[in-house]
Amino acid sequence: MRILLVEDDALLGDALQVGLREQGFAVEWIRDGAAGEAALASDEFTAIVLDLGLPRMSGLELLQRVRNRGDHTPVIILTAREAVDDRVRGLDLGADDYVVKPVALKELAARLRAVARRAQGIASGSIIVGSLSLDLASRAVTYEGSPVELQPREFALLQELVLRAGRVVTRTQLETQLYEWDRSLDSNAIEVHVHHLRRKLAPTLIRTVRGVGYMISRED
């Protein structure tokens, strides 16, 4: 899952970026509201963690602009403000959840997984596509009833394909996921990870769409 973190506090932003990556998220950290709006206009994210007290554009104004243009990306407001009015206004403007700082990292990660599941129409913490099952919280994978051990990047790539089962995921989208893990990504990293996944799961599970990307069918 690729997360947009919009937070101007350097210490908190760095801690959240590092901690969420350790929890298995790809994170892009933006430090002001205007830059956050630009990032959302040009890229795609699974969810947004949004501070309210931002420079150049407040979090509430950014949230309102995002919703006004029809962008339904899940948003969790992250703020030190404990006033009920701020919570109510944020939720009324379209936020999906509201967390008051300081927040336990594991709780924020769980809330991100929850809003992402709701956005995908998934009720539980597990995604099942045919014989393949992914537990988003424990990051456990089973195929045809047997557990499969994956490396973190392999899980991140497989998760992206499963969340979009039945649709082609472009090479660029997959590279973006892995790039947030490792800025020195090799040019053939996607092919290598897909090869490993096919070897560990099934040779025909991940289909190559030549010149575009990869996909997993809903029935697999």
Condensed to tens digits (0 to 9), the pLDDT of residues 13-51 reads: 999 999 998 888 889 999 999 999 999 998 889 899 999
pLDDT number for residue 121: 64
Instruction: Return residue ranges of the chain for CATH 1.10.10.10.
Output: 126-215
* Distance separating alpha carbons of residues 119 and 147, to the nearest angstrom: 27
Residues in the chain: 220
Q: Which two tokens stand for residue 10?
A: 């350097």
Condensed to tens digits (0 to 9), the pLDDT of residues 42-93 reads: 888 989 999 988 999 999 999 999 999 989 899 999 877 666 788 788 889 9
What fold is seen in the domain 126-215? Arc Repressor Mutant, subunit A (1.10.10)
* Distance separating alpha carbons of residues 17 and 40, to the nearest angstrom: 18
Instruction: Return residue ranges of the chain for CATH 3.40.50.2300.
Output: 2-120
Give the chain's mean pLDDT. Answer: 87
Q: What percent of the chain has pLDDT over 90?
A: 48
pLDDT number for residue 82: 67
Condensed to tens digits (0 to 9), the pLDDT of residues 164-191 reads: 888 899 888 888 777 655 555 667 888 9
CATH superfamily of 2-120: Response regulator (3.40.50.2300)
Phi/psi for 106 (5° steps) reads: -65, -35
pLDDT at 151 over 80: yes
The whole-model pTM stands at 0.69
Cβ-Cβ contacts under 8 Å for 42 (sequence gap 6 or more): none
